[in-house]
Structure 1
Amino acid sequence: MKNVKKPIIIGAVHLPYYGRNNPFQSYSEIEEYVMTNIKAHYENGIDTVYIQDENLTLGDALPETIALMSSLCKMVKHEFPEQKLGLIMQAVDGIAPIAAATVSGADFVRIKVFTGMIFKAEGIRRGVGETAMQYKSILHSNVKILADVHDREGIPMPGVPIEMAIDWAANTGADALILTGHNYDETLTFIKTAEQMDLNKPVLVGGSVNENNIYEILDHCEGAVVSSSLMLDEVEEGGLLKWDAEKIKRFADKVAAYKNRQ
């Protein structure tokens, strides 16, 4: 953990399907759901969270996605102006996330396919990093970009070593890099590789993070995205709360004690 003073921990609140993916989903219910679960993070020690859109699309972000993500981020930033907030869209789109984050006052975006090319269930997806950087410049936007080097939901372009993929993302302009393998051992290999490179920017693990492995992760990089391991074991039927306040607090307390451990 050499590029930051304290660990960067980011919570992730995943949205239900909506719009053309689920026309029956109430938007007002999504607003209440987001506020309930983000509040659980902010009030229990995780002060940086992103809202994750999961609507399936083969092309650019859909209009309802741009509208909803902008609206949700604006709502959260109005209620919690001092806390850090980001967003991620399921669509591989270099423009829509930057636009939504900029107009809503969000602090950062996560872009899953930033450089290179990846094979996913829905087909080949190509990096949108150059487009994102150009659009950010056009808007004079201060939004930070967290870029995945590989999206673990797909297979990266063959023949590209992880060192080269890391370099591509770093040199294209990402403010921080997210490294996640298809399993935890591969993730460790990735972050140990990045640790030996002169990147001068934070590296985070993007998945499979929990209370038991967070110290090992922080020994080799600057932070992590954590979500599934902090969810409630059982969600009340019809309930909106899905993340466990006690798990969040315990995890945040453990991270806070990282530098003081024996």
Structure 2
Amino acid sequence: MNNFQKMFKSENPLIGMIHLPPLPDYDGSPGIDAVIKSALNDLRILEELSFDGALIENEYDQPHRVKATQETIDAMILVTKAVVNARKNCKIGVEILLNDPKASLDVAKTANADFIRTDYFVDPMTRPGYGEFDIDPEGLIKYRKDTGSEHILIMADIQVKYATMLIDRTIAQSAKLAEQHHADAIIISGDATGDAPVINDLDQSKAATEIPVIIGSGFDAENGQMLLNHCDGAIVGTALMKDKVVNTEKSRKLLTALGRLQ
């Protein structure tokens, strides 16, 4: 049994997104108390509907910074601590966007969260407006060990949406590299938020590795049951949300389509 299966006991776990309003060091922030209130309300709905996990992201810190400021890290710690302290059953994860997995680990460790997501792990990639990203899987795994954070799982995207590969590599090769560099699960997304991944990408990645393959975008009531035949779980955002927050009716629609609600 791998680390992901030890953490998420159910088959094909569903992880719901908690997209935070702008944090206090961004224009338009409602303030930290309002950010925490929004996160806790999203968590309440996810737990009432028996989601297996919740992933906190500073989605509306726009434009994203490549590396987090200390203010962002401090705010994410406050929000994540509040969510962790309020959760009953959900496993809690965190990702500081756009590309700061060490900061995400710092938040997770301080707040007693369970996992992080990192968009850029083994694949050399570039993105308009941001340029080429630092890729250092060895350094991240060493940092996890050196900070006593080895209990925190790393869920790593491969060939992630919105960015362009800088080398010629198959999705199976990226999946195998992520496994070799000690990712606990790999995440495969479509070309943009709300777009489902290509089935062949899921199948090729599962064939190449022994760690779980998780869907990172585009999972919804129409395609969810079919997609679960090709993966080991899903991170769900767009299909759950209305007006940028988790919506009970939309969440129930998804779970009903999956046969998880009567």
- Among candidates 134, 138, 141, match of residue 146 of structure 2: 138
- Among candidates 78, 85, 93, match of residue 71 of structure 1: 78
Q: Does 1:9 align with 2:19?
A: no
Aligned to 1:219: 229
1:191-227 CA-partner distances (Å, limit 9, x unpaired): 0111322x22111110011011111211111011111
Aligned to 1:125: 133
Contact 2:197 2:218 in 1 (8 A): no
- Among candidates 118, 140, 148, match of residue 111 of structure 1: 118
Aligned to 1:245: 248
Contact 1:115 1:126 in 2 (8 A): no
User: Which letter maps to 2:155?
Assistant: L
**1:136 offset after TM fit, Å?**
0.8
Contact 1:12 1:50 in 2 (8 A): yes
**1:256 offset after TM fit, Å?**
4.9
**1:253 offset after TM fit, Å?**
4.0
**1:128 offset after TM fit, Å?**
3.6
* Runs of 4+ deviating beyond 6 Å: none
TM-score (norm 1): 0.87
1:89-114 CA-partner distances (Å, limit 9, x unpaired): 11312311111101101010000001
**1:24 offset after TM fit, Å?**
4.8
Contact 1:40 1:243 in 2 (8 A): yes
- Summarize the alignment of residues 1-262 of structure 1 with structure 2, pairs less than 5 Å apart: 6-22=11-27, 24-54=29-59, 55=61, 56-121=63-128, 122-141=130-149, 142-182=151-191, 187-197=198-208, 199-232=209-242, 235=243, 242-257=245-260
Residue-pair matches, total: 249
User: Which letter maps to 1:53?
Assistant: N
Secondary structure of residue in 2 paired with 1:134? helix
Contact 1:46 1:248 in 2 (8 A): no
Contact 2:190 2:218 in 1 (8 A): no
Contact 2:213 2:232 in 1 (8 A): yes
User: Which letter maps to 1:194?
Assistant: S
Contact 1:211 1:251 in 2 (8 A): yes
Alignment gaps of 5+ in structure 2? none
Higher relative contact order (CA 8 A, sep 6+): 1
In structure 1, how many angstroms separate the alpha carbons of the residues matched to 2:122 and 2:222? 31
In structure 2, how many angstroms separate the alpha carbons of the residues matched to 1:24 and 1:217? 36
User: Which letter maps to 2:247?
Assistant: D
In structure 2, how many angstroms separate the alpha carbons of the residues matched to 1:25 and 1:173? 38
Between stretches 15-24 and 249-258, larger displacement belongs to 249-258
Contact 1:217 1:223 in 2 (8 A): no
